[in-house]
Amino acid sequence: MNELEIIQPGLYTSLQDQGRITGRNWGVPQGGAMDRLSAQRANLLLNNPLDLPVLEITVTGPTLLCHGDGQLSLAGAPISVFQNKKKIENRGLINFQKGDFLKFGNTYKGLRTYLSIRNGFKTKELFGSVSPVTGISASMRLKKGDLLFFESAPLLRSSNARLKKPLLFQDNTIKTNPGPEYDLLSLAQQTILKNIAFNILPSASRMAYPLFPQLEILKHSTSLLTSPVVPGVVQLTPDGQLIVLMRDAQTTGGYPRVLVLSEAGINKLGQMGGGNEVVFL
């Protein structure tokens, strides 16, 4: 087994797969790549099964020391890459050798880059997923000195695999469906939801994206019995604030679920962050 060693972890780097299905009945969050499609595309480039663990890089990339030869792929938000201090052209696939330092810069045109390795990272699953979530995992992100294990694979001389179009979001619209409590809203409230541009607050995390502004017209006094929630649910607080639940969301919640994002919508929102604007369709 070979390793990649985390020399600098970057802003928020974690191992993620497609999330867990089991565990909800014990209160275990689903977790998984914020932009699941890009994580799959990173695996696709290497001909890996699509649900293998990948590194999720957020805004500022890590520095890795390679303790073995291998090949990695990148998908999602574009990012600059330096191999042994030399900036390299990156079309999705990078070969590396034992002793190489790989430094990743900042993501652009999106928040999150996905890094996969040939045959996948080997790491421990908890309830069917490697994705760390609150309450079951010792730490939520990788830190300096952590080792990522992989099996050595022969270098490919060349590969034609590449992503034709980088996954960029061209606009700020997010497709949604009515949530279980959508019908409790007045017509005016329903109309407002789809006709206002909301800003993502800087406190947005892998658990939830709170939105701004809070609206007077969306204030309500509906109290709900605690009920199941899933990633993509848009909650409306009594103060008129919308909160989009993301991949690490809790399993149950007590606020009205007014909208639910499509899977594609969650992926797209996962590439946005604090300060970005969204419009629900």
Partner 1 sequence: MGRFNINIQPLGENYLLCSWPAKISVEISEELLAFEQFIFKKFNHFILASNPAYASLAIRFEIKNITFSELKLILLKAYQDFVFNKIESKKYWEIPVCYDSELGPDLLEACDRTSLDLETFIKLHTKPFYRIYFIGFLPGFLYLGGLNEKLFIPRKSTPRLKVPMGAVGIAGSQTGIYPQNSPGGWQLIGQTKVSLFHSNQKVPTPFQAGEHIKFTSISKADFTLASTLPILKTRVIHE
- The residues that touch partner 1, with contacts defined as CB under 8 A, are 21-29, 126-127, 133-137, 177, 179-180, 224-233, 250-253, 257, 260-263
Nearer to partner 1, 142 or 260 (CB): 260
CB of 280 to partner 1, least distance (A): 15
Tell me the two tokens of residue 227. Answer: 């009920």
**At 58, phi and psi to the nearest 5?**
-115, 115
Nearer to partner 1, 177 or 214 (CB): 177
Nearer to partner 1, 10 or 19 (CB): 19
CB of 37 to partner 1, least distance (A): 13
Tell me the two tokens of residue 69. Answer: 């030869």
Given a contact cutoff of 8 angstroms between Cβ atoms, the answer to whether 271 and 174 are in contact is no
SS3 132: coil
Q: Give how far the C-alpha of residue 250 lies from the chain's centroid of Cα atoms, to the nearest Å.
A: 16
Nearer to partner 1, 55 or 229 (CB): 229
Give the DSSP H/E element, type plus range, for residue 264: helix 263-270
CB of 176 to partner 1, least distance (A): 10
CB of 155 to partner 1, least distance (A): 37
Q: Is the dihedral of CA 244, 248, 254, 258 positive or negative?
A: positive
Residue where the block lists tokens 């990173």: 42
CB of 223 to partner 1, least distance (A): 10
C-alpha angle with apex 174: 41 to 131, nearest 5 degrees? 45
CB of 137 to partner 1, least distance (A): 8
With CA atoms as reference, report the closest residue to 38 among 169, 153, 147, 130.
Answer: 169
